Structures are given as C-alpha cells and as structure tokens.
Amino acid sequence: MNGFWKERRVVVTGGAGFLGARVAEKIAARGGLHIAVPRSKDYDLRDASAIRRLLAAERPDLIVHLAAVVGGIGGNMANPAAYFYDNIMMGVQLMEEARRAGVAKFVAAGTICSYPKFTPVPFREEDLWNGYPEETNAPYGLAKKMLIVQAQACRQQYGFNAINLLPVNLYGPGDNFSPDTSHVIPALIKKCADAIRSNAPEIVCWGDGSATREFLYVDDAAEGIVLAAERYDGAEPVNIGSGMEISIRDLAHLIARLTGFAGSIRWDASKPNGQPRRCLDTSKAEHLFGFKAKMPFEEGLKRTIEWYFSLQQA
C-alpha cells in the first residue's frame, strides 16, 4: 500500500490498453481507490468538449496520459497524417484542459520515436533536439514531442506540474499482433507461428536485419510510469527503458528458436529498416525516481510467446 495514491482521484487515458491496463492495476495495488479509465466511445479525446465532460465527471487530481494511436513501421508509413493528428490533438487538448481545470499533476508518455534519426548511442535526453526523427515515424514522434514543449511552457507560465516520460519499444503478453499495425516482436512471433502452422519453409522479414532496437517488458514500463508519477516533478523528459540493445537479425533468430520455427529467414531489403540504432541511457530514471527494469529479455520473450500460442490453441 502506498499513501500517495489513496486519496488521489486518477484518470488513466488508454487505461484499458496494453500498457494502460498494467498502470491502472499497479495504482490499484498501491492503494488507489479512485481510478477512472475513460473509453474512446464515451470520450473522444480529440474533442475538447469531451475532455471537459471527462474532467467534470471525474474531477482528477492526477492524469496519466497513455492513450495513443500507434503502430510499427508499416502502420506509420500507411497512416502518417492520422498518427500525427490524433496524437497531437489528444495530448495538447487534454493537457490544456487539465491545466485549466486545476489538475495537480499530468504524466505524459511520449515515445522513443521523438529522438533524432542518428542519435549517438546510448540515447541521452540531452540529445533529443539535435536532429530530425527517422522519416518513417517522424509524424508520430513529433506529435508526441510537442507535449514536451507544451509541458515545459505550461510549467514556466502557470507553474503546472506536467512531466514527460520517453518509453522505449514495449513488448509482453497482451501485445498487438495485427499484421497491419504490430511492432517488430509480435510481428516476428506471428510470422514464426504462422509458418509452423502451415509448414512454410521460410519467413520474410523487413529490411536487412542490421538495425538495432531496445525492448522493455510492459510490466516494467508500467512500474516506471507509476514510480515517476509518485516521485518525479521535474521539467526535463526522462527515458524509460532497459538499457539493452539487439539487432533485428539476432532478434529474428532468437524468436525463431523460442517459437520452434526451424525454417530459414529471408530479408527483404526493399523494405525500410527504420531508425539505424536504438538504445537508451536509463541512468536518469534510476537516479530521479528509482526505476530499473527487472525482466530478463529472453524470459520476457518466452512469456509473450507462451501467451500468444495459448490464444491460438484456445
């Protein structure tokens, strides 16, 4: 139990989703008694009047803004305008209406896609503005990045306590396995599972496999967000990650081994790699609010694969 949450009225946008459900559960486990999870069918966060209705109904002291329109490289390339518009309109209006309504604290989840394409590795928060994001996900990354500008401006002008967190690529049970919008880990798991089921001799993966990524287990990400809500009140954005780095080629072979797919892996270099490298410096999160990822990567992958295979057998 944690006294921080007991008397607070909390709104978790996206609280029924992959990450948000874990955040809401962790807040409840810490003693939170008033946790509202608005659904898009009731409150379209792109509509300022709907946001005002939500704030009037729930009267939150703290908002954790996790609602987002997200996808992998394919989803970003197919929907750049929607990803930009939906994310910026939800975030900008929600923060402004929260400020006007007197909400005491606003926690915004940004994205690693906000970093410049050629950020030195490991990514440090100080490098966030030193270049343009990778082109395939720049509209999404920039929409989220504007919330950092807004939060800092509102802090400067109004003393509004808004913080920004930059989570790296998430994975885990309950992830999105849709072929059109999934990220790389669920996409690879699904490719291997489908190949096993159909006795296909190979799977085809995007790019040449040279790009690297960092991954964070979804429950670790939720813990980081809750700790920041409790303990961090600073103006600067903070990375939330595991500090590991793996190439997409090595990731594909690891997932093939863990799923039991014994065929070959073919790389389609006509498709984009995305950002060349991605790995975070996570020292600030540990120093500022005591967050350090706990889930070993291979164990997290095994749990994700087991969850997905259990769905297929149901």
Q: Which residues have a catalytic role annotated?
A: 140
Phi-psi group of 70: left, alpha or beta (phi > 0 → left; psi -120 to 50 → alpha; rest → beta): beta
Distance CA 160, CA 155 (A): 4
Does an H or E element contain 189, and which?
helix 184-198
How open is the CA angle 144-149-154, to the nearest 5 degrees? Answer: 120
Structure tokens at 74: 């394919």
Structure tokens at 114: 């906000």
Helix (DSSP H) and strand (DSSP E) numbers for the chain: 11, 12
Pairing of strands 62-65, 34-36: unpaired
Distance CA 263, CA 78 (A): 30
